[in-house]
Structure 1
């Protein structure tokens, strides 16, 4: 039961970070978001750093939960990447907003950067594996280009600025993904 309460509080903290930003992440705000009695969050995570660590670890857990099967061809890779882009504006939005808030905190807290690095570093391996499984002539540089482009798209998708989305092609996820793959792996 204690583990369930911890997870409830960590998920509530993700919601708070997504809705109120880093400044809004307080023990009281997490208590309220979790529907828990005042002081509950502080009992589990006594300091703000402990709360940030718990949220970062929860984001890593959620990240690891979303890995699906590897694509077996280029079209399946397009569908996978398109799904990731669409997820940013959909069900993944709160987690990704919280993740970006944590990254801003990590710029000042190296210990937090170490936790978040598990997600960023995993992306390189996962995207390389997906490209290889799809039958593309993957290289370290090509895998890095796809990974960094996908990661760079996240803040723009979250900000939802129509001019930026249109200029980058992110207003049409399918076209964006196909263009990215064509730039890295021309079909000739």
Structure 2
């Protein structure tokens, strides 16, 4: 496999855009090459096969959605209370809204994983690791609540994000911030 990190990133970004726009069935090496504006056959030099492309795309999505360290550091100057968790969830919504294609591509990968056992295994591992890291981070930072709090918050925010990005009229775009406040208020204990 070719080792040009900048090109690999550009191809993974192109794969995310194709997934978000065309779905998993539209994700081909040729479609990625066209989206990235590179010669035909380039993507196949960077990814061993379609499963590798899907898996590496999933990993790249998680990388793209990772919090900005400077913003996170600023948020973490606050006391470890429900208000901080609320601010962190608003930042999550901001990041995901800013990278709508990334999250929609992840939804497509989740659906494709129901049909591809190897992808399901890989994606389950990636998402489980991410959830476990979030739980460990929450507890290590002394944020209110326990492991179950983080799991319930994850489930509630996942549902909220799904509605917001796919059928925003169901919840009403104007009420999104208030819904985040409600989710945290009903999930995270007061300190």
TM-score with structure 1 length normalisation? 0.81
Distance 2:4 2:188 in 1: 49
What are structure 2's unaligned runs of at least 5 residues? none
Q: 1:93 aligns with which of 97, 100, 115?
A: 100
Q: How far off is 1:61 after superposition? A: 3.1
User: Structure 1 pair 127/176, CA: closer, same or farther in 2 (3 Å)?
Assistant: farther
1:179 corresponds to 2:182? yes
8 A Cα contact 1:21 1:98, kept in partner = yes
What are structure 1's unaligned runs of at least 5 residues? none
Q: How far off is 1:157 after superposition? A: 1.3
Moved more, 51-60 or 6-15: 51-60
1:74 corresponds to 2:82? yes
Structure 1 ranges of 4+ moved more than 6 A: none
Q: How far off is 1:159 after superposition? A: 0.9
Aligned position for 1:165: 171
Question: Over aligned residues, Cα RMSD in angstroms?
Answer: 2.7
8 A Cα contact 2:135 2:150, kept in partner = yes
1:53 corresponds to 2:55? yes
Question: Which whole-Å deviations, capped at 9, do the CAs of 1:57-96 have from their partners, x for residues lacking one?
Answer: 322333456563474332222111012123332x221110
User: Structure 1 pair 140/159, CA: closer, same or farther in 2 (3 Å)?
Assistant: same
8 A Cα contact 1:124 1:147, kept in partner = no
User: Structure 1 pair 41/186, CA: closer, same or farther in 2 (3 Å)?
Assistant: closer
Q: 1:6 aligns with which of 8, 26, 34?
A: 8
Q: 1:108 aligns with which of 115, 120, 123?
A: 115
Distance 2:136 2:187 in 1: 13
Moved more, 26-35 or 115-124: 115-124
Number of residue equivalences = 182
Q: How far off is 1:121 after superposition? A: 4.0
Distance 2:90 2:168 in 1: 19
Q: 2:20 aligns with which of 18, 21, 26?
A: 18
